[in-house]
Amino acid sequence: MNAQQPLIEINALKKYFIIRRSLITRLLASRKNLLVRAVDGVDLAIREGETLGLVGESGCGKSTLGRSILNIFPPTEGEVLYRRENILKYNPSKLLQFREKAQIIFQNPYSSLNPRKTVRDIIAVPLLQKGINNPVQREERIMELLNRVGLSEYHINNYPHQFSGGQRQRIGIARALAMKPSFIVCDEPVSALDVSVQAQIINLLEDLQQEFNLTYLFITHDLSVIYYVSNRIAVMYLGKIVEVAATKALFESPLHPYTRALLSAIPVVDRTARRKRIILEGNVPSPINVPPGCPFHPRCPERKGDLCRSVIPELRQVRSDHLVMCHLNSA
């Protein structure tokens, strides 16, 4: 395995949602349909075998980006390359083959499971898709997956409502593993769980990554979690990636003002290790009405006047393996 080789490459990816107005509203207000710029020109590379953390405030576009990479939400523009092939140009047959290699673990472990299906039926769906039609082989594979994620064979006939949140998330992980993927989008997989259960699920994901050589995009808003699970971190704000760096470098020496504000909000017991709290002014702008120039400039305590208000900065490398989208680091 080449740790530096990108498994997934995202180029100028955009995902816009249309808010359709009724004819009467459009006539009265003289306004056309509105666009929600959920993902607005993202460039990103996810290296084979790594865990790339994706962090940012709620509503910044993290989950939309993860689902756009898998083409669950078909992107508006841009490219998603898997081993240098653009999946957005795949025909339906080849897209199904890609979906065997790229899976997702959802945030809510209850709503992502069919309440009318038993565990056997839930895990059997991807196995049937993979061509395991022999009932005996399929049953053996289901048992193997359940044991691997820490569940018992006695759970096979139970329904989702009979499990705890952590157990339901283990079922979701088993379902994702059934296709033997190489890439998994973990969409806030522990945010709905108790702290003690979070640690168990994180340890399970790390063990599975080592065993099956998996690559993760780990989406979360919890910086304390992302510090322990990720090799690199990408910070997202209002549909754009504003900083990408190795985990240790980002925590020790963040370059973007938004990243510094996020890190300053992490609770720390040791008084000597605490950062000075940075309170951002105002609210996050609407993705329907993105401000001109740098999207962060209305809230940035370090903005440079007209430059930040009128010119969108580029995401550029300013240190070894450290990228930032900010005029403060453009010199």
What pLDDT does residue 2 have? Answer: 46
Task: Please give the DSSP secondary-structure letter assigned to residue 60.
Answer: S
User: Exposure string (b/e) for 284-322, b if CB count within 10 Å is 16 or more?
Assistant: bbebeebeebbbbbbbbeebeeeebeeebbebeeeeeeb
Q: Residue written as tokens 């399929």? A: 138
What pLDDT does residue 59 have? Answer: 87
Non-local (6+) Cβ contacts of 195 within 8 A are none
Pairing relationship of beta strands 34-47 and 6-19 according to DSSP bridges: antiparallel
pTM of the model: 0.91
Answer with the residue of higher pLDDT: 221 or 273. Answer: 221
**Average pLDDT value for residue range 267-273:** 65
Categorize the per-residue pLDDT at 27 as very low, low, confident or very high, splitting at 50, 70 and 90: low
- Amino acid found at 59: G
Answer with the residue of higher pLDDT: 217 or 271. Answer: 217
Q: Is residue 11 part of a domain?
A: yes
| CATH at 12 | 3.40.50.300
Residues 329 and 294: beta-carbon distance below 8 Å: no
What pLDDT does residue 1 have? Answer: 40
Q: Is residue 295 part of a domain?
A: yes
E-state strands within 83-231? 85-86, 102-105, 183-187, 215-219
Q: Is residue 1 part of a domain?
A: no
What pLDDT does residue 12 have? Answer: 96
Categorize the per-residue pLDDT at 283 as very low, low, confident or very high, splitting at 50, 70 and 90: confident
| Boundaries of domain holding 241 | 6-329
Number of domains in the chain: 1
What tens digit of pLDDT does each residue of 182-237 get? Answer: 999 999 999 878 888 999 999 999 999 999 999 999 999 888 889 999 999 999 99
What pLDDT does residue 121 have? Answer: 96
**Under DSSP, is residue 190 helix (H, G, I), strand (E, B) or coil?**
coil
